Chain A
């Protein structure tokens, strides 16, 4: 066993190429990372389901240079993969971190992972390079008014018509649809077979005529969307993999997604709501003494710190298994369940520690920590059903992890 967090071997970036590349990155950032972008990014810090326009524009420019991530997509070059030297990676990471830029996913990681494995040659060539450059981005089109956790019951219909499919129906909770370019769409192509076997997966350009996107505003003030398809004509080459085999691709994509949910990449020493809360407790006086001296507060902060540590360890285990080449379905489910329910407790306990101040919303006078804890409390509600309900996750853990029998249907 070894709990050491891998840190990259030190690389000498002070070479001629390194210095040149560093200057290139700095020049770019000096020009493009304007005060307006920084301000917009700061205001938006706690709104994970939105990216404001200036930041989007900045990301697009980053993507055009292949700098969306220090780790260029490890795809073959013909699909937009970039060979990047270790020196360049270090320089990029250092310069971005120095300016407080976190690496965004670009909303294409999940789709890229499925397309490279399942997509046709044509689809790989058409979409992967654009995903790599951040030119296109995806919103998920799974859930419908009558198909949530029981996703395979979805009713959106795609009917083959020559070289196209004609698609009709409605999707809901399609977060990011208003700020992305493409829909990762599940639709029924065969209504006469068992429901899992008649679903296909499509890549649909949101600019296609017949698509209407309407906002749905959530309890936490975040935007999600409903998307209506009215005789939308989608070229057949936009079908992912084989017709009627979409369910297996969706399961693959959900697996990748869950690994990210409730854990994701945990940075050591990164600023989190918990570190903000501890600082708040240290600095806030109640009844003539800091909150952090109140033993009830101390117990709760310590408990959150333990739970955060468990989240970190679960998340490390999942990525360790993936590095070994395993597909950690049970472990990813555990990590998702734990991480998301921890987020809910964090919002709940955090606002509780703040007392009356816990109800203040972002932008209000007197609001503590920019309202991020109050927002977390509201936002986290959906995490225990979004991306796989925790009832489903727990049954999956017990049946696949401990061999319990499945529920008869």
Chain B
């Protein structure tokens, strides 16, 4: 057991925190929530120069060959800073998917460009069915003399409006079970027949509706195996879920620290707000939620890094973080009172993100049910 980060991770954490405190001021974050594009290209460029998009990719694709735990450390800092760049979509959702399932040629082509910051990618998985299970994949890709024609609507797709390529998860066959007959396609976002509409979301995340209307994709753009696409989806869901939890840990940690500082400055009834036991107990409860999220998340991330199975840990981390981050944000709002309710304060950034993160990649109910399947070895008779 060792709860310390290693030396390189400490350096990465410090460097990321220093860089983001300078380059990612909250005023910019708030501006980006209103911005059509949603991210500042100059900042994305600087981040690329720091090598962050290449952190987890092997050196022969231009990356630095880091592990999942390194990525976790970095994403936590991004969550702390509310960094508005297409990192999660390009690197975590799509980049890791290609690394896990793509052909050597696809990896050479795309990952090299990801690490150089030349391309923005995303994963188009969810649909109006709004589920993360295989049965929720209804968008169809029909074989047309070797090419595939994709029809249907993908929904809640992050950064699709700025993406160069989408990895579209589509149904190519009606299998005996929902997991069979799913295929991943690399789709040029400018293909004829694709229309993209940005949704207006609680945290200002650019989630999109992507409609595929007879979009033609060549056979060579299949990522992974035809009809066998669910396994890499399940794998990326696990990795992305743990990374999302890391982002949430970062946000919760920042809310805790901001709130604690405020209780020392704010004077009420002639004394510091933080000298009242009721407020101390709020802070203590926030500490418990932050540390519990952190350890559950890092245990899962460590297992991923080590190549160990971590289904249980992943479900635990997201089921817990989905609720705990919101409790922390709500207590932060309570401690700041009216000042934290005003738009230009930093608290709303976190309160909004905590809600958005709750349902992204599965909420507490979903992950507890998945966990129950592993614990009781029985299916819910209701589902």
What residues make up the interface of A, taking CB atoms closer than 8 Å to B? Answer: 1-6, 278, 281-282, 289-290, 292-295, 298-299, 301-303, 305-306, 309-310, 313-314, 316-317, 319-320, 334, 337-338, 391, 393-395, 397-399, 401-408
B320 touches A305 (CB 8 A): no
Distance of B266 from chain A, by nearest CB (Å) = 11
A298 touches B368 (CB 8 A): yes
Q: Within the complex, which residue of A5, A290, A394, A395 is in contact with B378, where a contact is CB–CB below 8 Å?
A: A290
B48 at the interface (CB under 8 A from A): no
B283 touches A402 (CB 8 A): yes
Distance of A306 from chain B, by nearest CB (Å) = 5
Instruction: Give Cα A152 to B332, complex, Å.
Output: 34
Instruction: Give Cα A301 to B256, complex, Å.
Output: 29
B214 at the interface (CB under 8 A from A): no
A1 touches B3 (CB 8 A): yes
Q: Within the complex, which residue of A2, A306, A394, A401 is in contact with B302, where a contact is CB–CB below 8 Å?
A: A2
B256 touches A302 (CB 8 A): no
Q: Within the complex, which residue of B276, B298, B380, B381 is in contact with A407, where a contact is CB–CB below 8 Å?
A: B276
Distance of A329 from chain B, by nearest CB (Å) = 13
B202 at the interface (CB under 8 A from A): no
19 further A-B pairs in the complex, CB-CB below 8 A; given A295-B369, A298-B368, A406-B275: A1-B298, A2-B302, A5-B1, A294-B382, A301-B375, A310-B292, A313-B292, A320-B3, A334-B287, A334-B288, A391-B277, A394-B284, A395-B280, A398-B287, A401-B284, A402-B256, A404-B283, A405-B272, A405-B274
B215 at the interface (CB under 8 A from A): no
B371 touches A404 (CB 8 A): no
Instruction: Give Cα A222 to B280, complex, Å.
Output: 33
Distance of B26 from chain A, by nearest CB (Å) = 21
B45 at the interface (CB under 8 A from A): no
Q: Which of B69, B256, B285, B292 has the most CB of A within 10 A?
A: B292
A305 touches B3 (CB 8 A): no
Given A302-B375, A401-B287, verify A294-B260 contact (CB < 8 Å): no
0/1 per residue, B265-279, Cβ < 8 Å to A? Answer: 000000110111101
- 13 residue pairs A–B, Cβ–Cβ below 8 Å: A2-B302, A282-B376, A293-B380, A299-B365, A301-B375, A306-B320, A310-B295, A313-B292, A337-B284, A394-B284, A402-B257, A404-B280, A408-B271
For A305, the chain B residues whose CB sits under 8 A away are 316, 371, 375
For A405, the chain B residues whose CB sits under 8 A away are 264, 271-272, 274-275
B264 touches A391 (CB 8 A): no
Given A309-B316, A404-B275, verify A302-B302 contact (CB < 8 Å): no
Q: Which of A295, A299, A302, A403 has the most CB of B within 10 A?
A: A302
For B296, the chain A residues whose CB sits under 8 A away are 306, 309-310, 313
B8 at the interface (CB under 8 A from A): no
Instruction: Give Cα A272 to B275, complex, Å.
Output: 39
For B5, the chain A residues whose CB sits under 8 A away are 1
A337 touches B368 (CB 8 A): no
Distance of A305 from chain B, by nearest CB (Å) = 6
Instruction: Give Cα A220 to B51, complex, Å.
Output: 60
For B319, the chain A residues whose CB sits under 8 A away are 302-303, 306
Contacting A at CB under 8 A, from B289-309, are 291-292, 295-296, 298-299, 302-303
Given A317-B295, A406-B275, verify A306-B376 contact (CB < 8 Å): no
Q: Within the complex, which residue of B69, B313, B372 is in contact with A302, where a contact is CB–CB below 8 Å?
A: B372
B263 touches A404 (CB 8 A): yes
For B295, the chain A residues whose CB sits under 8 A away are 310, 313-314, 317
B369 touches A320 (CB 8 A): no
Instruction: Give Cα A394 to B2, complex, Å.
Output: 25
Q: Is the interface of B mostly helix, strand, loop or mixed?
A: helix
B3 touches A317 (CB 8 A): yes
For B382, the chain A residues whose CB sits under 8 A away are 293-295
Distance of A340 from chain B, by nearest CB (Å) = 12
A281 touches B376 (CB 8 A): yes
Distance of A37 from chain B, by nearest CB (Å) = 34
For B256, the chain A residues whose CB sits under 8 A away are 402
For A403, the chain B residues whose CB sits under 8 A away are 260, 264
With CB as the reference atom, state the residue of chain B lying closest to A323: B1
For B343, the chain A residues whose CB sits under 8 A away are none
Contacting A at CB under 8 A, from B101-160, are none
B213 at the interface (CB under 8 A from A): no
A306 touches B371 (CB 8 A): yes
A1 touches B69 (CB 8 A): yes
Q: Within the complex, which residue of A294, A310, A334 is in contact with B320, where a contact is CB–CB below 8 Å?
A: A310
For A394, the chain B residues whose CB sits under 8 A away are 277, 280-281, 284-285
A298 touches B292 (CB 8 A): no
For B313, the chain A residues whose CB sits under 8 A away are 309
Instruction: Give Cα A113 to B2, complex, Å.
Output: 25
For A3, the chain B residues whose CB sits under 8 A away are 1, 298-299, 302-303
A299 touches B369 (CB 8 A): yes
Instruction: Give Cα A177 to B320, complex, Å.
Output: 41
Distance of A149 from chain B, by nearest CB (Å) = 12
Given A278-B375, A398-B280, A398-B287, verify A338-B274 contact (CB < 8 Å): no
Q: Which of B260, B281, B284, B365 has the most CB of A within 10 A?
A: B284
Instruction: Give Cα A391 to B284, complex, Å.
Output: 10
Distance of B380 from chain A, by nearest CB (Å) = 5
Contacting A at CB under 8 A, from B349-383, are 365, 367-369, 371-372, 375-383
Distance of A384 from chain B, by nearest CB (Å) = 13
B4 at the interface (CB under 8 A from A): yes
Contacting A at CB under 8 A, from B243-258, are 256-257
Instruction: Give Cα A338 to B4, complex, Å.
Output: 22
Distance of B362 from chain A, by nearest CB (Å) = 13
B369 touches A407 (CB 8 A): no
Q: Within the complex, which residue of B257, B277, B281, B376 is in contact with A278, where a contact is CB–CB below 8 Å?
A: B376
For B6, the chain A residues whose CB sits under 8 A away are 1
B1 touches A4 (CB 8 A): yes
With CB as the reference atom, state the residue of chain B lying closest to A393: B284
A404 touches B274 (CB 8 A): yes
Given A301-B376, A395-B277, A407-B275, verify A337-B381 contact (CB < 8 Å): no
Given A306-B296, A317-B295, A397-B284, verify A6-B274 contact (CB < 8 Å): no
Distance of A270 from chain B, by nearest CB (Å) = 16
Instruction: Give Cα A282 to B372, complex, Å.
Output: 11
B292 touches A398 (CB 8 A): no
Q: Which of A5, A391, A398, A403 has the most CB of B within 10 A?
A: A398
For B377, the chain A residues whose CB sits under 8 A away are 282
Instruction: Give Cα A407 to B285, complex, Å.
Output: 18
Distance of B134 from chain A, by nearest CB (Å) = 20
For B303, the chain A residues whose CB sits under 8 A away are 3
Instruction: Give Cα A123 to B313, complex, Å.
Output: 49
A295 touches B264 (CB 8 A): no
With CB as the reference atom, state the residue of chain A lying closest to B368: A302
Q: Which of B9, B257, B299 has the most CB of A within 10 A?
A: B299
